[in-house]
Amino acid sequence: MTDARSILVTGASSGIGRDAALTLKARGWRVFATARKPEDLAALAEAGLEALYLDYTDEASIHACADAVLATTGGRLDALFNNGAYGQVGAIEDLTTDVLRRQFETNVLGWHTLTRRIVPVMRAQGHGRVIQCSSILGFVAGKYRGAYVGSKFALEGLTDCLRLELAGSGIQVALIEPGPIATRFTQNALANFHATVDVDASLHREEYQSQLARMQGTRRPSRFKLGPEAVTAALLHALESPRPRLRYRVTVLTKAAALMKRLLPARLMDGLIARNS
């Protein structure tokens, strides 16, 4: 085990993170997988993963997790997959600053703290991979997604700068930009929305109610939605290829959105997004 390539995968309780962790373990990687809830940590350990507690909003837990990993590996780590995140839904004018702050604490600042802790380790060993799980909403905006969009736009900018600054260090940096993926993300986002937004008092009440009715009804699954294994496939290339891409766009919708953003005038792009939101 000490000779196996090692990776820290955050947000591994379900969905993308869990699929990635299990797949990497099956490929011979030594996988440290994080979660917050005791039952999720127990499930990860039962699956044969080295499970560790990490909460991106708790800086002490970030350092404790990193210290535990490095103590186990003798101070080395081959890769970091920043993945744990959540989606805050709601019109920008309905979100308090504290709600926005929590979104950035989890989706940006916690990632930054962990990455800063690991990069010196990778510099010292002369190699490493830092893979950031972004989103289609990391380069295209959407109504009622302002907090999440802002966090992912910020992540993309920080990651691009990090890649430039680490050139020549032996550390490769890549972004994965998934579109619709079959996970618990939407379910969790809806629960958080109900806890943080007063729908009845909002000027956007009717639109909220319309969208909620569609989301909670018997809709057909999107033909563009893929399973988490599609993201894992991109992650494997980013980790194992001698020349990883800078960005991995996962799902047809993500690739189409990137092309349209490059080719279409901004007002036309706004119109397309508004009609499909």
Closest CA to 55 of 3, 4, 10: 10
> What 3-state class would DSSP assign to 241?
coil
Is residue 227 classed as helix, strand or coil in its secondary structure?
coil
For 132, 198, 214, 272, the CA distances from 204, given in Å and listed in that order, are 33, 10, 16, 20
In angstroms, the CA 275 to CA 59 distance is 41
Residue labelled with tokens 């959540």: 86
Torsion angle of alpha carbons 175, 180, 185, 187, nearest 10°?
170
Place of tokens 């780590």: 77
Token reading at 214:
């569609």
Question: Which tokens belong to 83?
Answer: 């993945």
Residues designated as active site: 148
End-to-end CA distance of the chain: 48
Strand partners, 131: 81, 174
